[in-house]
Amino acid sequence: MTLQDQDEEIVDAELVEDGELALVDEPAPRLLVDRNTVLFPGQKLPTTADRPKYTKRDLDLSPETEAILRSSDPAETGPMRAFKAWCAEQGRVAVPCTTATFTEYSRHLMQRGLKVATIKNYMSQIRTAMPAGEKPDSSLYLRLLADYRKKNKRALRRKEAFPITLPYLVPMMEKAEADGRPIGWRDAALFAFGYRFLGRSVEDVDLDLEDVTILDDRVLVWLAEDKTHKGEEQTIPLHDRPDLNLVFRLRRWVGYLAEQGITTGPLFREVLRSGKVATSETRARRGATKRGDYLRPQTVNERVKLWFAAAGLQSDGRPVSSHGLRAGGATDLGMSGATDDELWDAGRWQKGSPIPRERYVRPVKDANRDVFKKVPVHDPAAAAQE
């Protein structure tokens, strides 16, 4: 047997009653060396007898670690669940899937007419969910996607969120607060914060009370990191203004939480019909445990749609969503003369990013620009008098 064969040989093991790992028909110790083995003067050749002796303790995970891993399991995402269902219908193995199955599923998504960005996102999540060392090859699917991109121009079209600028935001907050319910206080605080913070909705709802300091004229937000600043903590001052009343609205909501004994943990939480903040027990009864006490980003989206419609507002055809808070703040800044550097800093975009200017500022300017205003209005009566 060669050294390589020895290295690749699998030794059977079993768990014995005292919790130790015991070898079945344990062979005599054998050498564990290859071409990279280095011995210092006087050092003996390593053998299997030098390996550590593991016990069951070395294999156990705590319930807390298990809960965290399960809650972040990539196999439990929506795209992965849809992929498993499709595989079941097709009689294919979902995990680990073959490259052929992975490629065929991408064509299935294309047949549904999904956006290119959406397909790439779904396929990336599916590939990530596969076991290490057993991920499918993406090259064939990417060739299909390139062809799809050429032949389906509509699949490239990006529908930007309608920017919820101040003329829209203020009526929404006032409508949410009109009947004095705690859920309205939460929504108004969330909307004011989302607009001023220029955050993505998931960043808003992932904040803890400990991350926010409310002063008389501003709110300080501590971020461990964000999408474009990995590993870079920041303290961001959000100066208040009379139309937002951010300090008042956030203080009222935080004060309401304190009345219920909540002074730590998620800043924005679910509110029940009774007006009480939802507990882990009430969520567990409904099976809503994935986010725990943290509000779902989708909930923010639903509340934005609700109060936009309730305030009697209308968009220009672009979809109304929670991202409109971020888009609205960026649009108001850009239309009021903010420089690119100021936009990048305010929204924490990477320096040089064209997104704030091209997606939020330029479309508004283009929509308001009408070169035909230079052409005099044709008036037949005036022309006849000349």
Which class is 166-365 in CATH?
Answer: mainly alpha
What are the helix (H) ranges across the chain?
3-8, 63-71, 78-90, 99-111, 116-129, 139-151, 166-177, 182-197, 201-205, 246-259, 280-286, 297-310, 323-335, 340-347, 355, 362-368, 380-385
- CA-wise closest residue to 326 among 309, 350, 301: 301
**Range with the poorest average pLDDT among 62-71, 113-122, 148-157, 321-330:** 148-157
pLDDT value of residue 70: 74
- Per residue in 349-369, pLDDT tens? 888 888 887 777 777 767 677
DSSP 8-state secondary structure symbol assigned to residue 322: T
- Which range (207-221, 240-254, 277-291, 340-354) has the least confidence? 277-291
Distance CA 121, CA 124 (A): 5
pLDDT at 66 over 80: yes
pLDDT digit string, tens, across residues 252-282: 999 999 999 999 999 999 999 888 988 777 6
Mean pLDDT score of the chain: 85
pLDDT at 306 over 90: yes
230 vs 134, more confident: 134
Q: Are 115 and 155 within 8 A, CB to CB?
A: yes
Q: Which helix (H) or strand (E) holds 214?
A: strand 212-214
Q: Among 48-52, 142-146, 193-197, which is the least confidently predicted range?
A: 48-52
Q: Count CB-CB contacts under 10 A for residue 9.
A: 11
Confidence band, pLDDT 50/70/90 cuts, at residue 48: confident
- Percent of the chain exceeding pLDDT 70 equals 86
Of residues 210 and 14, more confidence is placed in 210
pLDDT at residue 243, rounded to an integer: 95
- The reported pLDDT for the residue numbered 224 is 85
pLDDT exceeds cutoff 70 at 376: yes
Tokens 């070898």: give the residue. 23
pTM (predicted TM-score)? 0.65
So where are the chain's domains?
A: 1-35+47-55, 70-156, 166-365
Most confident segment among 27-31, 54-58, 239-243: 239-243
In angstroms, the CA 147 to CA 349 distance is 31
Q: How confident is the model at residue 386 (pLDDT cuts 50, 70, 90)?
A: low
Name 20's bridge partners.
55
- The distance of Cα 110 from the centroid of its chain, to the nearest Å, equals 23
| pLDDT at residue 9, rounded to an integer | 42
Is residue 336 over pLDDT 90? no
> Among 322, 261, 318, which residue's Cα sits nearest to residue 296?
322
Q: Are 201 and 297 in contact (CB under 8 A)?
A: yes
Residue 251: predicted pLDDT: 97
Q: CA-to-CA distance for 322 and 194, rounded, in angstroms? A: 9
Confidence of residue 290 (pLDDT cuts 50, 70, 90): low
